[in-house]
């Protein structure tokens, strides 16, 4: 049983005795429940958000399909901003610690969460990871979610910003195929622009689709390989840290 | 398959309420699942079959209210049904919308004995 969040229910006992009632048995009592199904997650997400706000931590939830370049973007960012930004990372993967090892190699504090069969991080996992990591005040916490554009969309982690990464090797219609994710994000990074000459990707069309799903979505094009456009991403990060306090 | 997490949460909520009412069985559960909620019903059914085994919801009747999507245009204030988050306003073509229904994901009620 976890003292902070009251968890332990994860392992609840499912061995009640079972009386089976006929399909049409009557005389039941109606209970009005009226409870949001994601209530528990949203509650813990709010708790995380409160913690981040109190400590002036910019928490960024990075989401994408597998392989769009989340870890590469983080590696670049952590190295480029090493001297100007305090940061730490939570890595969510179904298996392995490969991504966490890559982050560790940049000299950044990192916690790995293996979700096993789970295809998304939830607020509860992040709560425990944060407890273990104790991020500093005025820092940036990057959370790399499991590569999946569907499930992570529903689970608020308490992040300050949700950043969706797509790459030019994916179809330009990603935003309309996975509208929930693009709808709930504040920034879209279009990565691997160095490959534009070699792949049939219509950049303008991609942006148009993204804006149809979410007219407020900001869009930044980058190539993690050549570094092109990364300055805009760094400016965006700086603008999001309260009064630039996490980046000096 | 976030549908599995959704089903697990429903089981949690239902069992907690049933226990608080000192009931030992749930006959029926009523759910609101909006059409824009991101729940894929085929996956949901599959997860339901698996996850409710040996819980109070095993064998319970499931009543699902699918709530259609509705939006209000933030530009011209028109109110209209939407099927997708990227549907434009049918009056002015704008995409800046406020979604007023269809996102519901809620346990409405239980019938317990
Ligand atoms: N050409 C090119 N390749 C890139 C770029 N960014 C990342 N890659 C490559 O894309 C592949 C996947 O990158 P990752 O950073 O591991 O992607 P990810 O989103 O973290 O993947 P998962 O964690 O598995 O979801 C790697 O081989 C990278 O080297 C880029 O800007 N240009
Ligand atoms: Mg990765
Ligand atoms: Zn899932
Ligand atoms: Zn309109």
- Domain ranges in chain B are 2-112
Ligand-binding site membership of B92 (annotated): yes
Q: How much is the average pLDDT of A9-21?
A: 39
Q: Where do runs of H (alpha helix) occur along chain A?
A: 39-54, 70-80, 98-104, 123-133, 174-177, 179-184, 203-213, 230-240
Query: Is residue A9 predicted with pLDDT exceeding 50?
Result: no
Q: pTM here?
A: 0.89
Ligand-binding site membership of B105 (annotated): no
* C-alpha B78 – ligand 4 centre gap (Å): 6
Q: Is B74 on the interface with A (CB under 8 A)?
A: no
ipTM given for this complex: 0.89
- Which chain A residues have a beta carbon less than 8 Å from that of B105? 36-38
Phi-psi group of A32: left, alpha or beta (phi > 0 → left; psi -120 to 50 → alpha; rest → beta): beta
Q: How much is the average pLDDT of A52-74?
A: 97
Q: How much is the average pLDDT of A213-232?
A: 97
- Which chain B residues have a beta carbon less than 8 Å from that of A36? 105-106
Q: How far apart are the C-alpha atoms of A233 and A4, rounded to whole Å?
A: 35
Q: How far apart are the C-alpha atoms of B47 and A158, rounded to whole Å?
A: 26
pLDDT digits (tens, 9 = 90+) for B48-64: 999 999 999 999 999 99
pLDDT digits (tens, 9 = 90+) for B65-98: 999 999 999 999 999 999 999 999 999 999 999 9
Q: How far apart are the C-alpha atoms of A8 and B1, rounded to whole Å?
A: 22
Q: Which of A148, A145, A153, A168 is closest to A221 using CA atoms?
A: A168
Q: How much is the average pLDDT of A28-56?
A: 95
Report whether residue A64 contacts ligand 1, using a CB cutoff of 6 Å: yes
Burial of A139 (0-12, 13-18, 19+ CB in 10 A): buried
Task: Tell me the DSSP string of A174-243.
Answer: HHHHSHHHHHH-SEEEEE-GGGGGGS---HHHHHHHHHHH-TT-EEEE--TTT-TTHHHHHHHHHHHSGG
Report whether residue A147 contacts ligand 1, using a CB cutoff of 6 Å: yes
Cβ contact (<8 Å) for B21 and A29? yes
Domain B2-112 class, CATH top level = alpha beta
Q: What domains does chain A contain, in order, with CATH numbers?
A: 2-242 (3.40.50.300)
Q: Which of A103, A125, A127, A123 is closest to A114 using CA atoms?
A: A125
pLDDT digits (tens, 9 = 90+) for A232-248: 999 999 999 855 455 54
Helix or strand run (H / E) with residue A31: strand A29-36
Lowest mean pLDDT among A2-6, A95-99, B51-55, B100-104: A2-6
């Amino acid at each position: 049983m976890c003292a902070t969040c009251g968890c332990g229910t994860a392992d609840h006992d499912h061995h009640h005795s079972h009386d089976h009632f006929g399909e049409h048995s009557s005389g039941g009592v109606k209970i009005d429940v009226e409870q949001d199904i994601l209530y528990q997650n949203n509650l813990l997400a709010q708790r995380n958000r409160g913690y981040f706000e109190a400590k002036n931590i910019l928490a960024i939830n990075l989401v994408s399909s597998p392989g769009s370049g989340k870890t590469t973007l983080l590696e670049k960012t952590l190295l480029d901003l090493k001297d100007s930004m305090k940061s730490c990372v939570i890595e969510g993967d179904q298996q392995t610690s490969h991504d966490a090892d890559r982050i560790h190699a940049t000299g950044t504090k990192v916690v790995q969460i293996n979700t096993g069969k789970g295809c998304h991080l939830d607020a509860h996992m992040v709560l425990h990871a944060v407890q273990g990591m104790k991020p500093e005040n005025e820092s940036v916490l990057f959370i790399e979610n499991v590569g999946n554009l569907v499930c992570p969309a529903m689970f608020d982690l308490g992040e300050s910003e949700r950043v969706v990464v797509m790459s030019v090797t994916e179809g330009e219609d990603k935003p309309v195929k996975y509208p929930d994710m693009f709808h709930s994000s504040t920034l879209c990074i279009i990565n691997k622009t160095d490959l534009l000459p070699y792949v049939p990707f219509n950049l303008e069309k991609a942006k148009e689709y993204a804006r149809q799903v979410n007219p407020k979505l900001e869009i930044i094009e980058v190539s993690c390989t050549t570094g092109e456009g990364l300055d805009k991403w760094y400016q965006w990060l700086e603008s999001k840290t309260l009064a630039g306090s996490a980046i000096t | 398959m976030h549908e599995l997490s959704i089903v697990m949460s429903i089981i949690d909520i239902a069992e907690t309420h049933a226990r608080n009412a000192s009931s030992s069985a749930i006959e029926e559960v009523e759910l609101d699942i909006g059409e824009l909620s991101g729940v894929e019903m085929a996956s949901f059914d599959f997860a339901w079959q698996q996850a409710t085994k040996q819980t109070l919801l095993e064998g319970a009747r499931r009543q699902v209210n699918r709530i259609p999507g509705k939006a209000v245009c933030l530009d011209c204030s028109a109110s209209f049904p939407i099927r997708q988050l990227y549907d434009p306003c049918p009056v002015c073509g704008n995409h800046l919308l406020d979604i007023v229904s269809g996102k519901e994901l809620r346990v409405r009620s239980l019938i317990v004995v």
